[in-house]
Amino acid sequence: MIKNITKFAAAAAVALAAASPAFAQLAEGAKAPTFSTQAALAGKEFGFSLAAALAKGPVVLYFYPKAFTSGCTLEANAFAEAMPQFKAAGASVIGMSNDDIETLKRFSREECRDAFPVGVASPKVIAAYDVAMGSSGLASRTSYVIGQDGKIITVYSSGDYRGHVTKTLDAVKKLRK
C-alpha cells in the first residue's frame, strides 16, 4: 500500500511538472556552476565532472524529473537518437535527475540506449541551477547548453520533452559557425 502511494505521489509530481512550465532557471550568459557527481553510462558508474567535460567541448546539461516516467523516458530516447548529431557538432550530453545511481545505471542502458550518461543531481546541484520543482526534491525539465568557456549559451525550460533536443541541438550547431 505504501509503495503504491509513493508511486502515485511520484507520478503526480511528474504530471504536475509536465502540466506547468518551469520559470526559474539561470540566465543566458551566466557562468554555469561547476560540479562533480556520480553518473552512469551503458550501465557503468563513473565520476562526472562538468569542468572536465567542458575541456572537451560544449555540454548539453539537461535536467529531468524522474527516470522511467513517460516524458523522461521519451526525452532520453530522443536525446539518444540525436547523439550522432550532437557528437558531429562537438558537444556532449548529460541528463541529470535526483534518482539514485542504481536507477540511473538501469536508465542509462534501457532508455538512454548507452548513448550518453545520466548523473545524480544532488539538492545542491538542483539549487545551483535553479531547477527545483517546488519542494518535491525533483528537478524541472530544463536544458542548458554550456559553452567551453563555462558560460550558458541557451536555456530551454518546458514540461513538454519534445522541444529540448531540437532547441539544444540548434544552439550547439550555431556554436560551430
Mean pLDDT of all residues in 11-39 = 71
Which among 123, 125, 118 is positioned nearest to 137, based on CA atoms?
123
The pTM score is 0.86
Identify the pLDDT of residue 9: 41
- Please name the helix (run of DSSP H) or strand (run of DSSP E) that holds residue 41, with its range, or none: strand 36-41
Identify the pLDDT of residue 80: 98
Mean pLDDT over the full length of the chain: 90
CATH code given to domain 2-175: 3.40.30.10
The b-or-e profile of 23-37 (16+ CB within 10 A means b, else e) is: eebbeeeeebbebeb
Give the domain ranges of the chain.
Answer: 2-175
The C-alpha atoms of residue 64 and residue 99 are separated, in whole angstroms, by 10
Residues in the chain: 177
> pLDDT for 43-98, tens place per residue?
999 999 999 999 999 999 999 999 999 999 999 999 999 999 999 999 999 999 99
State what percent of residues in the chain have pLDDT above 70. 86
Look at 12-16, 30-34, 92-96, 108-112 and tell me which has the smallest mean pLDDT: 12-16
Query: Which cell numbers in the block locate residue 44?
Result: 557503468
> SS3 breakdown of the chain: % helix, strand, coil, rounded to 5?
40, 25, 35
Query: Burial, 68: exposed, middle or buried (Cβ in 10 Å; 0-12, 13-18, 19+)?
Result: middle
